[in-house]
């Protein structure tokens, strides 16, 4: 494969430097015992239940393991064994470190396979992308799958000239990506198809034989082989054969299409501008623009450029990142994941001219380092505030008798916010730390866990009651009443400082801190 830099750097020192950068990038994780990642602790609660259910009759009364091959199961396979040997909160941090290490290393491996060289600049650019909009969502399976997709793409680039070895190994890697996350698998296939197309159109050399379309068809056919087993499994899964229920490809919209498009286009803009997410929208926009300005300056100086082979893939990824995509095949927030993929692809496709840096280039590099250090410090400071909120939560949660049905009530405008403290972590922590039973992600088509018994009955009743409609926008005043009437014993109201009027007086208040209120249902044991 022709690369933009045939000469390879000696990679030993670069590998150590890249590992050191990653270690520094993980420092914000030490700022708080509970990470403000929206969905992650719901996943961690599931990992905890799956690791303990065999030894707990209480958990068996409310949950059922549902181990089957699902295109969204990679983090479960990784994390459940860790919960056997690590305390849950430490395991949560360790899982995030592992996922980010897979992503970081995958992009650097892909870059070396693509360009033939290592680069400290590429490693540096990846650091702020680790704290992405998608990480803040807590999309653990997708991030793990995306990291594996870059590893698999790098393997293919290194070995594509030897298809007898490349294809079988790539088929296994493709299956691993697929079972981590279906969207990551689609992005993997798209990336390789675009790279092969770019290689084909760059293959004409002076005096060489003309290109033959059959060569491109053969290359794409070798990629298609990798999709045979995942595609067959996906069709069976979609039809409800593989242990789940049938999945609608495109669920019907409950509102006019143009209304949905306008709202989602506005929301999607935030995912683009906050592809690196820190403590505030304007902070993220400013630091992103400054980083982009540095890279543009270095490109203008001829110090960095995009590898020719990746131009087509970067262009398509950026175009896709601009398009709001509706939920499909049971997966939501698909469009929000694409800006991160595009940004990682840019970092993975950058080439760097060797040689001494001029004065202006050194200043630009120093500015880039300073911006990234400021971002890491700002994230650490903003996350450190959750340590105090966690202490409040622990004081309130300790007032709940063990083995109750508990449900979180998160007060706020939505569930991807930086204007108010995130609170989605604390409901699952009741299950992990205080021997409670409560709602967790338990979709038979996406997670290896099912709700059962009294918990499922309470959730089913809640879904049908006025004020109990599931969704990200909740009326906490009606919701707590509906939850109590549905069979939940305790309601943990988070972000109580946002309440504008008293909660229903018929629900006794057990504990109260600035950020939490604990309510007891009339039928609950005090």
Burial class (CB in 10 A: 0-12, 13-18, 19+), 517: buried
In a domain, 312, yes or no: yes
Rounded to whole angstroms, how far apart are CA atoms 152 and 392?
44
> Does 408 lie in the same domain as 336?
no
Based on the domain organization, do 417 and 343 belong to the same domain? no
Residues 509 and 428 in one domain: yes
Could you tell me if 345 and 434 lie in one domain?
no
Q: Are residues 98 and 193 in the same domain?
A: yes
Q: What is the pLDDT of residue 189?
A: 95
What does pTM read for this prediction? Answer: 0.91
CA R_g for the chain: 25
Is 291 part of any domain? no
Residue 388 lies in a domain: no
d(CA 274, CA 271): 5
Q: Which of 354, 380, 415 represents a domain boundary (last residue)?
A: 354
Final residue of a domain: which of 287, 321, 354? 354
pLDDT of residue 322: 81
Are 346 and 488 found together in one domain?
A: no
Both 343 and 483 in one domain: the answer is no
- How many angstroms separate the CA atoms of 153 and 22, rounded? 21
Residue 471's pLDDT is 46
As for how many domains the chain has, the answer is 2
Residue 444 has a pLDDT of 85
Residue 168 lies in domain? 11-29+38-45+71-201+212-238+302-354
One domain for residues 326 and 461: no
Give every strand in the sheet of 516-520, ordered side by side.
406-410, 490-494, 516-520, 509-512
Q: In the beta sheet, which residues pair with residue 437?
A: 405
pLDDT recorded at residue 255: 52
Decide: helix, strand or coil at residue 491. Answer: strand
Q: Is 387 inside any structural domain?
A: no
Domain boundary among 354, 369, 386: 354
Q: What is the mean pLDDT of each run of 10 residues along the chain (526 residues)?
A: 44 84 97 95 97 95 90 91 95 97 97 90 95 94 96 95 92 94 93 93 62 83 90 74 53 52 66 90 94 94 92 92 68 82 95 84 93 97 96 97 95 74 94 96 89 96 78 75 94 93 93 96 84
Q: How far is the C-alpha of 117 from the C-alpha of 122, rounded, in Å? A: 11
Answer yes or no: do 100 and 156 share one domain.
Answer: yes
413 is a domain residue: yes
Q: Is residue 90 assigned to a domain?
A: yes
Is 55 part of any domain? Answer: no
pLDDT at 9: 45
Residues 89 and 161 in one domain: yes
How many angstroms separate the Cα of 413 from the Cα of each of 232, 243, 325?
41, 36, 23
On whether residue 503 sits in a domain, the answer given is: yes
Residue 94 sits in the same domain as residue 217: yes
CA distance 441 to 446: 9
- 221 and 320 share a domain? yes
Q: For residues 386 and 32, is the Cβ–Cβ distance under 8 A?
A: yes
């Amino acid at each position: 494969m022709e690369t933009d830099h045939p000469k390879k750097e000696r990679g030993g020192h670069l590998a150590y430097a890249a590992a050191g950068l990653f270690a520094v990038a993980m420092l914000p994780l030490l700022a708080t015992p509970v990470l403000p990642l929206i969905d992650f602790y719901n996943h961690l609660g599931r990992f905890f239940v799956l690791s303990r259910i065999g030894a707990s009759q209480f958990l068996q009364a409310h949950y059922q393991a549902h181990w089957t091959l699902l295109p969204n199961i990679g983090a479960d396979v990784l994390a459940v064994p860790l919960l056997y040997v690590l305390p849950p909160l430490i395991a949560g941090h360790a899982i995030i470190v592992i996922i980010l290490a897979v992503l970081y290393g995958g992009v650097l491996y892909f870059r070396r396979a693509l360009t033939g060289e290592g680069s400290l600049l590429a490693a540096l650019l990846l650091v702020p992308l680790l704290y992405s909009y998608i990480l803040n969502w807590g999309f653990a399976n997708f991030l793990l799958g995306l990291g594996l997709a870059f590893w698999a793409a790098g393997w293919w680039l290194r070995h594509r000239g030897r298809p007898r070895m490349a294809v079988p190994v790539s088929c296994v890697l493709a299956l691993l990506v697929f079972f981590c996350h279906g969207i990551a698998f689609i992005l993997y296939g798209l990336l390789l198809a675009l790279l092969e197309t770019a290689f084909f159109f760059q293959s004409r050399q002076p005096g060489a034989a003309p290109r033959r379309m059959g060569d491109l068809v053969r290359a794409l056919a070798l990629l298609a082989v990798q999709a045979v087993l995942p595609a067959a499994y996906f069709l069976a899964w979609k039809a409800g054969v593989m242990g789940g229920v049938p999945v609608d490809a495109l669920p019907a919209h409950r509102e006019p299409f143009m209304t949905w498009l306008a709202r989602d286009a506005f929301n999607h803009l935030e995912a683009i501008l906050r592809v690196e997410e820190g403590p505030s929208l304007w902070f993220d926009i400013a630091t992103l623009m400054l980083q982009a300005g540095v890279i543009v300056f270095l490109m203008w100086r001829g110090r960095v450029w995009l590898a020719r082979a990746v131009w087509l893939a970067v262009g398509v990824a950026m175009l896709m990142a601009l398009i709001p995509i509706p939920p499909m095949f049971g997966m939501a927030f698909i469009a929000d994941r694409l800006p991160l993929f595009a940004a990682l692809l840019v970092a993975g496709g950058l080439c760097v001219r060797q040689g001494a840096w001029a004065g202006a280039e050194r200043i630009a590099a120093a500015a880039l380092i300073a911006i990234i250090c400021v971002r890491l410090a700002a994230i650490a400071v903003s996350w450190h505030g959750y340590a105090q909120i966690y202490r409040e939560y622990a004081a309130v949660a300790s007032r709940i008798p063990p083995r109750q049905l508990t449900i979180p009530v998160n007060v706020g405008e939505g569930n991807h916010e930086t204007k108010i403290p995130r609170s989605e972590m604390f409901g699952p922590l009741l299950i992990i730390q205080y021997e409670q039973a409560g709602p967790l992600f338990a979709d038979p088509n996406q997670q290896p866990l099912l709700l059962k018994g009294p918990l499922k009955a309470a959730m089913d009743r809640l879904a049908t009651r006025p004020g109990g409609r599931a969704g990200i926008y909740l009326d906490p005043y009606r919701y707590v009443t509906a939850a109590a009437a549905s069979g939940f014993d305790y309601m943990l109201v988070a972000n109580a400082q946002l309440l504008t009027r008293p909660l229903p007086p018929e629900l006794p208040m057990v504990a109260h801190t600035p950020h939490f209120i604990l309510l007891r249902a009339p039928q609950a044991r005090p």
